[in-house]
């Protein structure tokens, strides 16, 4: 098979896969450069940084890590082994987050092909989930997926979930009291015909109950209908051993691997990152915790089908210097 970065079609497939990754407020903060038809470079896009709620660039790195995982899968499906260097030039090109060299390997496994097929099916689902319990076997597969990327998925019991939901509500109040945050949220939501940001159809309803198990990303645009959500949401926290840029990139890869495994099982996910965003916004460091540094707060369950959030066309993701 030809090298995925050596032909126009191969590059388009790679960029299409990368571009479908989840990203904070659907900012799609990534750019790619193809070097000599041999390797791909992934850059963080400074123009798409959330300067208020993500001043350290943590969420940007997690988002780019998710896109990187898709690039790795696309390379495997094209019969190549992706050799990845994270932050290959930290002193020089600070925005260069990863370099991926492609080495011919042979056909992908059925499991790799199956995960790849989930890329276009995965969505963030902010609708109420039904009463079905996510089986322990599936949760165990999700934990394995996170662990194989150097992260840890910590499922929460009922007591810890109730505590965390209270904490999320307090953090949400803190965020909404900040005018700069509201302006940033408004700028990236309800963007009509834009190819990025979160459109109104993806907000889902507001929760009729307090605390809410879903983040109200339409908070800057009041007046939406409300609905009852599941009374016992299944929450888990994705953590990493450290809290540096390299950890954030690993968290993103772990997140995407885990979300694709979940999608394959018909399990939906949404996120409740308000405490992490508030902490970042106030420029507080994450206190070390026995279980690691929290990078994503995730709600799992079984939701109805939802429409796809918009994406920029693959050609727009290329950069040239
Ligand atoms: C680092 C990161 C943080 C996110 N935080 C939240 C969040 O707190 N609440 C939420 O509902 N979605 C959150 N999302 C999901 C994005 O909003 C979503 O990926 C984006 O809108 C694209 O939609 P899609 O996932 O359906 O493709 C987050 C995604 C990433 C990668």
The predicted-structure confidence for 252-284, as pLDDT tens digits, reads as follows 999 999 999 999 999 999 999 999 999 999 988
Amino acid 283: pLDDT: 85
Do 8-122 and 136-301 share a fold?
yes
Measured over the CA atoms of residue 218, residue 219, residue 220 and residue 221, the dihedral's sign is: positive
State the Cα torsion 58-61-63-66 to the nearest 10°: -130
Q: Please tell me the distance from the alpha carbon of residue 297 to that of residue 110, in angstroms, as a whole number.
A: 30
Q: Is the pLDDT of residue 288 over 70?
A: no
Q: Which of 17, 18, 21, 23 to mutate to test the pocket of ligand 1 (most atoms within 8 A of CB)?
A: 23
Q: What ligand 1 atom has the least distance to the C-alpha of 274? A: 8
Q: What ligand 1 atom has the least distance to the C-alpha of 214? A: 11
Q: Is the pLDDT of residue 289 over 80?
A: no
Please, is 176 exposed, middle or buried when counting C-beta atoms within 10 Å of its C-beta (0-12, 13-18, 19+)? middle
Per-residue pLDDT tens digits for 93-136? 999 999 999 999 999 999 999 999 999 999 999 999 999 999 99
Token pair belonging to 265? 């099982």
Amino acid 24: pLDDT: 98
Please, is 129 exposed, middle or buried when counting C-beta atoms within 10 Å of its C-beta (0-12, 13-18, 19+)? buried
Q: Please tell me the distance from the alpha carbon of residue 54 to that of residue 93, in angstroms, as a whole number.
A: 20
Helices (H), the chain: 8-19, 58-77, 110-118, 136-147, 158-176, 179-187, 245-264, 274-281
CATH number for domain 136-301, candidates 3.30.479.30, 3.90.740.10, 3.40.109.10, 3.40.640.10: 3.40.109.10
pLDDT band for position 291 (cuts 50, 70, 90)? confident
CATH number for domain 8-122, candidates 3.40.309.10, 3.30.70.20, 3.50.50.60, 3.40.109.10: 3.40.109.10
Q: What ligand 1 atom has the least distance to the C-alpha of 126? A: 11
Break the chain into its structural domains and give their ranges: 8-122, 136-301
Ligand 1 pocket check for 217: Cβ under 6 Å? yes
State the distance from the centre of ligand 1 to the C-alpha of 106, rounded, in angstroms. Answer: 34
Amino acid 37: pLDDT: 85
pLDDT band for position 321 (cuts 50, 70, 90)? low
Q: What is the mean pLDDT of the segment spanning 212-229?
A: 88
136 Cβ contact list (under 8 Å, min separation 6): none
State the distance from the centre of ligand 1 to the C-alpha of 36, rounded, in angstroms. Answer: 33
């Amino acid at each position: 098979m030809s090298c995925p970065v050596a032909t126009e079609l191969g590059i388009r497939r790679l960029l299409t896969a990368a571009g479908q990754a989840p990203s904070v407020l659907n900012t799609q903060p990534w750019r790619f450069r193809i070097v000599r038809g041999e390797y791909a470079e992934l850059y963080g896009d400074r123009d798409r940084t959330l300067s208020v709620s993500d001043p350290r660039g943590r969420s940007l790195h997690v988002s780019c890590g998710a896109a990187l995982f898709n690039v790795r899968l696309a390379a495997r499906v094209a019969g190549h082994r992706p050799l990845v260097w994270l932050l290959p030039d930290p002193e020089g090109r600070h925005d260069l987050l990863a370099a991926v060299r492609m080495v011919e390997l042979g056909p992908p496994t059925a499991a790799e092909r199956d995960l790849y097929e989930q890329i276009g099916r995965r969505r963030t689902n902010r609708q109420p989930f039904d009463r079905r319990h996510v089986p322990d076997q599936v949760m165990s597969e999700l934990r394995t997926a996170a662990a194989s990327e150097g992260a840890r998925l910590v499922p929460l019991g009922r007591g810890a979930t109730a505590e965390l939901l209270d904490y999320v509500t307090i953090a949400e109040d803190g965020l909404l009291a900040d005018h700069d945050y509201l302006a940033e949220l408004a700028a990236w939501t309800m963007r009509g015909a834009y190819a990025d940001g979160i459109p109104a159809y993806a907000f889902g309803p507001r929760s009729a109950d307090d605390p809410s198990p879903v983040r109200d990303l339409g908070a800057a645009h009041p007046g939406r209908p409300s609905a009852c959500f599941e009374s016992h949401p299944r929450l888990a926290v994705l953590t990493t051993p450290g809290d540096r840029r390299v950890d954030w990139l690993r968290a993103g890869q772990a997140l995407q691997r885990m979300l694709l495994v979940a999608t394959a099982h018909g399990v939906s996910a949404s996120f409740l990152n308000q405490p992490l965003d508030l902490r970042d916004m106030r420029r507080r460091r994450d206190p070390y915790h026995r279980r690691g540094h929290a990078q994503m707060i995730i709600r799992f369950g079984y939701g109805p089908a939802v429409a796809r959030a918009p994406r920029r066309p693959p050609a727009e993701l290329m950069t040239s210097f």
